[in-house]
Chains A and B, each alone.
Chain A
């Protein structure tokens, strides 16, 4: 099956700092990747759609200046949480779209962000 990795798996940072999370598709190329966040015992919420070589599309209510997304290659998308605050603490999950006869999203293992 398709493999998607995320790094780091867990990060703890101080309030006001910025954190970068990487999402890589390891065995396929993905022109489209997605970023989600998930709060405890809640479902995944889409934050943005990341397209290789173009600007990301953000969902309503997601601050594009706070959550910077870069999709510089067909196998890598990054999410940078700028000036993080405790309310940004969450589980961030990326997915990569593998296109074929039926397009399928494959998810990374997630990144647990804790902002102190």
Chain B
């Protein structure tokens, strides 16, 4: 399984755009990149998933360069409620492989 590296923590202010970058240098051809958000004492919540280029949904955007060795989760105009831990995971799209969680990035949004 591809290992991921993320910043341990980030700080931001309400209304700002936040970009969290994840490194996954040994990503495999069949691997997808998935981001989850987790609040204290809750299960992780699916945010976005992508394979290459750019993916956008109502919550976030995911940018993946051509070499796929990194990815950036972009949260537009964060609010206090976006304070959480964000996990970047890389896994094979076979339906059989479990995800390995790294330490995640603890985002603190201040007023």
Contacts and interface: CB of A to CB of B under 8 A. Distances in A.
Interface string B29-59: 0001010100001111110010100000000
Interface residues of A, number: 29
Interface string A25-48: 000000110101000000111100
Residue among B36, B42, B98, B103 with most chain A CB within 10 A: B98
A107 B41 contact: no
Contacts of A93: 43-44
Interface in B62-89: 87
Contacts of B13: none
A106 B46 contact: yes
Contact of B49 (A94, A102, A110): A102
A44 B101 contact: yes
B96 A46 contact: no
Given A44-B44, A97-B95, A102-B49, A107 B101 contact: no
A85 to B, nearest CB: 22
Interface of B: 32, 34, 36, 41-46, 49, 51, 87, 93-96, 98-104
